[in-house]
Amino acid sequence: MTFATWFSFFCAACLIAISPGSGAILSMSHGLTYGVKRASVTILGLQLGLLLVLVIAGAGVGSLLLASETAFGIVKILGALYLIYLGVTQFFSKPPIATERTDQATDRTHVPDFHRRVLTGFLTNASNPKGIVFMVAVLPNFINSQAALIPQLAILAVTMVVVDTTVMHSYALLASSLQNLMRDAKAQVLQNRIFGAVLVLVGASLFFVKRDAAVAV
């Protein structure tokens, strides 16, 4: 892989990561609610899901997915339902209010544990058919068919994960900077309503993703 090819992919990866999506929304939501340190665990899950998508796309499974209306429909519905579930859960969740009188043990009861946050991030990216479709369309443009596939995929995967991790942490940090403004119960309820509604809308939008239109991306 030449430097020019890698740099082109780096630029594409930056654009993909920066564009608002379910991962960005989740990073901002957890950054605002739990802080950057705890949101990092969610972002770890997002990267594991992203790696799975890259492997699926790179291995050609994504092409098979696009070729099958049934398989594509199943992935699309599961991804949409999961995002809607996350949105509804957050919409109705009770605000994790942190006050000076709230001890650490009580505060922790409001935060999902490590494994749950990783799983939430992982499923958010892994169940997103738009991500799989986009990677299937993008990756072949940066892969030399005359060279070994695995080293190229490894370079592209590391690049994508580093870029996406940096961008997601930036989103989480930006949201976390607003924590002091969201201390009271009303503000936290509003936050949950906004992020919950956005996740539901993003999930609902997946129902309108068409296989033929996706192939043309």
pLDDT tens-digit map of 20-74: 788 888 999 899 888 899 999 999 999 999 999 888 877 766 566 666 777 777 7
Q: Tokens in use for 202?
A: 């993003």
176 is in which domain, residue-wise?
23-215
Let me know if residue 153 belongs to a domain. yes
Residue of 196, 41, 68 lying closest to 132 (CA atoms): 68
pLDDT for the residue numbered 167? 95
Three-class DSSP category at 23 = helix
pLDDT band at 210 (very low <50, low <70, confident <90, very high): low
Let me know if residue 201 belongs to a domain. yes
Let me know if residue 81 belongs to a domain. yes
Q: Which residue did the predictor score with more confidence, 190 or 27?
A: 27
Let me know if residue 16 belongs to a domain. no
3-state secondary structure 180-198: HHHCCHHHHHHHHHHHHHH
Let me know if residue 2 belongs to a domain. no
Percent of the chain with pLDDT over 70: 80
Residue of 46, 215, 47 lying closest to 136 (CA atoms): 215
pLDDT for the residue numbered 109? 41
* Highest mean pLDDT out of 50-54, 82-86, 127-131, 166-170: 166-170
Task: Give Cα 199 to chain centroid, integer Å.
Answer: 11
Let me know if residue 4 belongs to a domain. no
CA distance 202 to 199: 5
pLDDT tens-digit map of 77-108: 877 787 788 788 878 877 654 444 444 443 44
**For the chain, what is the domain count?**
1
pLDDT for the residue numbered 106? 37
Percent of the chain with pLDDT over 90: 23
Let me know if residue 7 belongs to a domain. no
Let me know if residue 17 belongs to a domain. no
Q: Which residue did the predictor score with more confidence, 51 or 178?
A: 51
